[in-house]
């Protein structure tokens, strides 16, 4: 199996992975060496060291020739390498054929194909980081531009920052720093760690780069800002979405604490979730509440309930909105169906566990139901195991029986109908069991044992013997 970020949304939803199957071979590209350096076990260290001395970062793709995803990705990778050179972006592209150099790929813990790693001039071959964006030409070039800019960027105004966020997948982080002071060391170190995913910038006051109307709490030193198409616009999709903002009040010199806070607060507000951000949203080390809606039919009550819950529970839960119409097939794997929209899906442990309950997790009472869930309400936590599926069937069967009982209690005719249905079900089950037993009995008969002759057949055999004598 080979791995890629460019896969079906259904695969991401149902497996929490990014994967596709591999098929026979890539045929190569004429002239690719002009833009893409082929590396081997002998040349790899010298190449990375030469780039380190020139202070040029390098992106290296580890692939195999029999992988279908690699076959599709490599031409895009080569095209991006060419475009990066023509744009004079200071990054080099290289690749390693793991079919020929298995030991080199093992050295860098390559477990799926294609794997792409970034080698910084600061660390050389010692500490590469994984490339985590979509594997296409645009994202390769965007990554090269990001990683060759200063980790902390400058913006003149809040409008300029919000405009930049229009083309961003994830949020921006704004730190407070006076013009004369140096950038805090912890903030700079954290920016270098996360610069491939987020914009980092500074301002004399946080309010200088935050949208109007955002209230900055006292002693806040950092703000996480999400704006533009990242945020759910609500029931009126024609209006601008409200920005999502959360604040940090600790020291900007403590890189460990700052990085931990950023990891937990990368998704402020109420996010519009699609295939570009679903994986990271559900793998952000936080409990998430995903609300599946019909975008053309969102009531005021639903929007008010979602926004109120997000405002009250933002420290406990990340909130996102899914298009339940376009993703109906994918969501059915979670027992969420288009006919029941809006529905709530809660994920935990980076999507290893999820919870849905049409009776206990309702959008109209979202805050109350989520509080009960957080406080330990006994809702069914599901995973990908067979036992989880059996528990779901048991829950649904029990609830169906309760509905039948309530229906039967409404009148004599209803009682007769329910009893008839139960009797018919018992007959059908017995018939199925009899069919299975009969089939097994036939299959287990020993065909090599001849059947016993009947008395008439024995008499005929004796007469034939006497006649012959």
Q: How far apart are the C-alpha atoms of 302 and 47, rounded to whole Å?
A: 57
Q: Could you write out the three-class secondary structure of the chain?
A: CEECCCCCHHHHHHHCCCEECCCCCCCCCCCHHHCEEEECCCCHHHHHHHHHHCCCCEEEEEECCCCHHHHHHHHHHHHHHHHHHHCCCCCEEEEEECCCCHHHHHHCCCCCCCEEEEECCCCCCCCCEECCCCCCHHHHHHHHHHHHCCCCECCCCHHHHHHHHCCCCCCEEEEECCCCCCCCHHHHHHHHHHCCCCEEEEECCHHHCCCCCCCCCCCCCEEEEECHHHECCCCCCCCCCCCEEEEECCCCCCHHHHHHHHHHCCCCCEEECCCCCHHHHHCCCCCEEEEEECCCCCCHHHHHHHHHHHHHCCCCCEEEEEECCCCHHHHHCCCCCHHHCCEEEEEECCCCEEECCCCCCCHHHHHHHHHHHHCCCCCCCECCCHHHHHHHHHHHHHHHHHHHHHHHCCCHHHHHHHHHHHHHHHHHHHHHHHHHHHHHHHHHCCCCCCCCCCHHHHHHHHHHHHHHC
Which pTM was predicted?
Answer: 0.79
3 phi and psi angles, rounded to 5 deg:
-120, 145
* Per-residue pLDDT, 315: 92
Residue 452 confidence (pLDDT) above 70: no
pLDDT in tens, 166-189: 889 999 999 998 877 788 999 999
What mean pLDDT value characterizes the chain? 86
Of 411 and 29, the one with more pLDDT:
411
Residue 23 confidence (pLDDT) above 60: no
* Per-residue pLDDT, 18: 42
Q: Which of 260-264, 345-349, 437-441 has the lowest mean pLDDT?
A: 437-441
* Per-residue pLDDT, 451: 63
* Per-residue pLDDT, 14: 54
Q: How far apart are the C-alpha atoms of 360 and 406, rounded to whole Å?
A: 19
Q: Which of 298-307, 344-353, 430-439 has the lowest mean pLDDT?
A: 430-439
Q: Are 267 and 171 in contact (CB under 8 A)?
A: yes
Q: Which of 8-12, 166-170, 305-309, 452-456 has the lowest mean pLDDT?
A: 8-12
Q: The domain 269-385 belongs to what CATH superfamily?
A: Glutaredoxin (3.40.30.10)
Residue 7 confidence (pLDDT) above 50: no
> Hey, do 2-148 and 149-266 end up sharing a CATH topology, with the first three levels equal?
yes
Q: Which two tokens stand for residue 207?
A: 């309010």
Banded model confidence at residue 347, pLDDT cuts 50, 70, 90: very high
Q: Are 206 and 243 in contact (CB under 8 A)?
A: no
pLDDT in tens, 26-50: 444 444 567 889 998 889 999 999 9
Residue 459 confidence (pLDDT) above 90: no
* Per-residue pLDDT, 450: 61
* Per-residue pLDDT, 466: 66
Angle between helix 386-408 and helix 412-444 axes, rounded to 10 deg: 140
Residue 335: closest CA among 263, 409, 388 = 388
Q: The domain 149-266 belongs to what CATH superfamily?
A: Glutaredoxin (3.40.30.10)
* Per-residue pLDDT, 158: 92
pLDDT in tens, 227-273: 988 999 988 766 677 899 999 999 999 999 999 999 999 999 999 99
Q: What is the mean pLDDT of residues 13-33?
A: 47
Neighbours of 56 (CB within 10 A): 14
* Per-residue pLDDT, 398: 87
Neighbours of 27 (CB within 10 A): 7
Banded model confidence at residue 455, pLDDT cuts 50, 70, 90: confident
Residue 396 confidence (pLDDT) above 90: no
* Per-residue pLDDT, 408: 87
* Per-residue pLDDT, 4: 39
* Per-residue pLDDT, 232: 94
* Per-residue pLDDT, 210: 93
442 phi and psi angles, rounded to 5 deg:
-65, -40
CATH of domain 2-148: 3.40.30.10
Q: What is the mean pLDDT of residues 129-146?
A: 90
* Per-residue pLDDT, 447: 54
Residue 294 confidence (pLDDT) above 90: yes
* Per-residue pLDDT, 13: 60
Q: What is the mean pLDDT of residues 207-226?
A: 92
* Per-residue pLDDT, 381: 93
Q: Where are the domains of the chain?
A: 2-148, 149-266, 269-385, 410-469
Banded model confidence at residue 11, pLDDT cuts 50, 70, 90: low
**CA separation, residue 303 to residues 234, 316, 322, 323, 403 (Å):** 6, 19, 13, 14, 30
Q: Are 155 and 111 in contact (CB under 8 A)?
A: no
Of 459 and 301, the one with more pLDDT:
301
Q: Which two tokens stand for residue 354?
A: 């999820």
Banded model confidence at residue 17, pLDDT cuts 50, 70, 90: very low
């Amino acid at each position: 199996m080979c791995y890629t970020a460019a896969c079906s949304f259904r695969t991401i939803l149902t497996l929490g992975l990014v994967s596709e199957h591999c098929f026979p071979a890539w045929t190569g590209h004429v002239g690719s060496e002009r833009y893409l350096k082929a590396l081997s076990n002998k040349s790899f260290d010298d190449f990375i060291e030469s780039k380190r001395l020139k202070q040029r970062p390098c992106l290296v793709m580890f692939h195999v020739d029999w992988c279908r995803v690699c076959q599709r990705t490599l031409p895009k990778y080569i095209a991006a390498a060419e475009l990066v050179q023509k744009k004079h972006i200071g990054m080099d592209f290289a690749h390693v054929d793991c079919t020929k150099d298995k030991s080199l790929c093992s050295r860098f813990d390559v477990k799926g194909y294609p794997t792409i790693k970034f080698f910084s001039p600061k660390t050389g071959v010692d500490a590469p980081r994984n490339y985590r964006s979509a594997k296409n030409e645009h994202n390769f070039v965007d990554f090269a531009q990001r990683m060759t800019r200063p980790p902390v960027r400058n913006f003149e105004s809040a409008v300029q920052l919000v405009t930049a966020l229009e083309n961003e997948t994830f949020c921006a982080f704004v730190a407070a720093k006076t013009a004369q002071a140096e950038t805090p060391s912890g903030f700079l170190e954290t920016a270098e760690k996360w610069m491939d995913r987020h914009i980092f910038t500074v301002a004399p006051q946080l309010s200088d780069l935050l949208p109007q109307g955002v209230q900055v709490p006292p002693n806040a030193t950092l703000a996480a800002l999400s704006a533009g198409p990242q945020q759910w616009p609500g029931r009126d999709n024609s209006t601008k979405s409200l920005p999502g903002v959360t604040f940090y009040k600790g020291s900007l010199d403590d890189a460990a604490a700052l990085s931990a806070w950023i990891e937990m607060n990368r998704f402020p507000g109420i996010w519009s979730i699609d295939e570009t951000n679903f994986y990271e949203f559900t793998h952000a080390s936080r409990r998430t509440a995903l609300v599946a809606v019909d975008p053309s039919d969102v009531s005021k009550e639903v929007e008010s309930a979602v926004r109120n819950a997000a405002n009250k529970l933002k420290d406990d839960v990340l909130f996102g909105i899914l298009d339940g119409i376009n993703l109906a097939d994918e969501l059915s794997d979670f027992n969420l169906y288009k006919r029941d929209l809006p529905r709530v899906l809660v994920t935990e442990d980076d999507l290893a566990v999820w919870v849905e309950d049409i009776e206990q997790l309702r959008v109209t009472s979202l805050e109350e139901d989520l509080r009960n869930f957080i406080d330990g309400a006994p809702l069914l936590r599901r995973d990908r195991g067979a036992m989880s599926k059996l528990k779901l069937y048991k829950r649904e069967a029990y609830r169906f029986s309760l509905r039948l009982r309530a229906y039967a209690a409404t009148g004599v005719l209803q009682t007769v109908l329910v009893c008839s249905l139960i009797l018919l079900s018992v007959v059908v089950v017995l018939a199925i069991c009899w069919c299975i037993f009969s089939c097994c009995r036939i299959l287990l008969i020993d065909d090599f044992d001849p059947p016993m002759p009947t008395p008439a057949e024995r008499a005929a055999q004796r007469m034939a013997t006497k006649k012959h004598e």
